[in-house]
Structure 1
Amino acid sequence: MNSERANPLDVVRSLLFYVVFYPGTIVMVTACFVGSLFGEEPLRRAVRGWGLFHRWCARWLLGIRLVIEGELPNEGVLVAIKHESFYEAIDLPAQMQRPAPFPKAELAEIPGWGWALRRYGAVVVERGEGAKALRTMVSSARGLAAQGRPLAIFPEGTRVKTGERPPLQSGFAGLYKLLGLPVVPVAVDSGRLYHRRWKKPGTITLRVGERIAPGLPRDEVEARVHAAINALNI
């Protein structure tokens, strides 16, 4: 199936979305930088505003409606989310109060942006840096969780096409064990609609799975998380 095929109306909707969302994003990013000068709370409000702005553009310009099945957490737990498109990543601040993401180290090295990212509060992922990097990530994650902030991670490691079910990255089990936090798995089916280029109208579902207690064996927690985040891949 070629999911990138689009009819003329999809193309028009997508172009309108790009014309509105990306210039608006420049304004919102500027607001994030300005807000960061006045403390963490103004910065977090600006980030949440960007997520809500994106959701509005998707709903009214693309015709993409979001349905959340279940209750997303607003506390210091590990939230494991399926990653099929940029939709769920951009929408993340609108889904939960002050979520702490796990961005790649490359993003944290962008001048200005990296400073704002760290000020907002994020667990920077240093891939390939070994045990020292893992200890740093765990320390940062513990501090953010202690503030009551949900730790939002994409355990499969990267975006995947709808229907694909790659194994979880090995780092997920390490974080789960060392943090000792419950896991809330979230399934997403955004890849059907929110394509890289021409997006399609419809409904994106986020399905919140059953909370998984800390302290389970690696095989068990990985199997339960993997099944839960892929619950919409039928």
Structure 2
Amino acid sequence: MIDWVRTLLFRIVFYGLSVPIVATVPVSALFGQPVVIAHATVWTRFHRWAARVFLGIHIRIEGERPVGPALYASKHQAMFETLELQALLDGPAMALKQELANLPVWGWAARRYGALVVDREGSSTALRRMLRDANAAKAKGRSILIFPEGTRVLPGEQPPLKPGFAGLYRMLALPTVPVACDTGRLLPKRGAKHPGVVTFRFGAAIPPGLSRAEIEARVHAAINALDTPTSRGR
């Protein structure tokens, strides 16, 4: 019952105050990419505060990030990491599913932010566009953040990586940093959220130039490093 009360309070405060924050993103986007990135960072830090105060969620960081831009490949178990990593990685160009990019006005603002639109159907045209946008972000010195399994998964699920990851790795020639997280353990998609500590583990940077089989195997193992039987969620 306490967890449900916490969850309801979080939803009221976070989503209620997010409406004006998100609604004004298109205005920020008119002033250029740095402004819309700063706007997004304000929202993600508000989310961190609300999760800590109302849900009792605290964050533990393990590992170190490399200096300079990198390709970050993260596990995806909850909405939490899509927001938290935006702040932790200083506004990276982030993968965004096609459905969100198609939203009127907001989708345009997301593209101004530098979102990489992911077509889950895997069309060649959409893949080429995503590669082009990622290369443009790299040229500006930004890191790239993707969720290489392609979608949100439950704790314990370890699907293979989507083909687009290997294409990005080969084209960008950036160090690749796998990110493991166990957010699904406390933040299930449905039902009450639970207080506790979620961990983000930055793995050792993997150099460019490896074969597709090797990079996929190393990233897959690293992003699932926290997904052990003892850490699987309720």
Unaligned runs of 5+ in 2: 229-234
Within a 5 Å distance, the mapping from 1:29-178 to structure 2 comes to: 29-72=22-65, 75-128=68-121, 130-178=123-171
Q: Which residue of 2 aligns with 1:3?
A: none
Q: Give SS of 2:118's match.
A: coil
Q: Give SS of 2:117's match.
A: coil
Q: Give SS of 1:233's match.
A: coil
* Aligned with residue 208 of structure 1, among 189, 199, 202: 202
Unaligned runs of 5+ in 1: 1-7
Identity %: 51
* In 1: Cα distance, 2:131 partner to 2:146 partner: 13
Q: Kindly indicate whether the alpha-carbon contact (under 8 Å) linking 1:102 and 1:124 is maintained by their aligned counterparts in 2.
A: yes
Q: Which residue of 2 aligns with 1:4?
A: none
* In 2: Cα distance, 1:216 partner to 1:142 partner: 19
| Cα deviations by residue, 1:130-166 (Å, 9 ceiling, x for unpaired) | 3333222211101101111111000111111112211
* In 2: Cα distance, 1:38 partner to 1:73 partner: 30
* In 2: Cα distance, 1:20 partner to 1:72 partner: 32
Q: Give SS of 2:24's match.
A: helix
State the number of aligned residues. 227
Q: Kindly indicate whether the alpha-carbon contact (under 8 Å) linking 2:81 and 2:183 is maintained by their aligned counterparts in 1.
A: yes
C-alpha displacement at 1:92, in angstroms? Answer: 2.3
Which moved further from structure 2: 42-51 or 133-142?
Answer: 133-142
TM-score when normalising by structure 1 = 0.92
* In 2: Cα distance, 1:59 partner to 1:172 partner: 32
* In 2: Cα distance, 1:133 partner to 1:36 partner: 23
Residue type of the alignment partner of 2:50: C
* In 2: Cα distance, 1:12 partner to 1:74 partner: 41
What's the Cα RMSD here?
1.4
Residue type of the alignment partner of 1:93: Q
Say if 2:167 is the partner of 1:179. Answer: no
* In 2: Cα distance, 1:72 partner to 1:30 partner: 32
Say if 2:227 is the partner of 1:230. Answer: no
* In 1: Cα distance, 2:119 partner to 2:154 partner: 25
Residue type of the alignment partner of 2:21: M
* In 2: Cα distance, 1:74 partner to 1:27 partner: 35
| Cα deviations by residue, 1:74-125 (Å, 9 ceiling, x for unpaired) | 7332100000111101222211112111111221111011110011111112
Which moved further from structure 2: 210-219 or 91-100?
Answer: 91-100
TM-score when normalising by structure 2 = 0.92
* Aligned with residue 24 of structure 1, among 17, 30, 39: 17
Which moved further from structure 2: 127-136 or 220-229?
Answer: 127-136
* In 2: Cα distance, 1:230 partner to 1:129 partner: 24
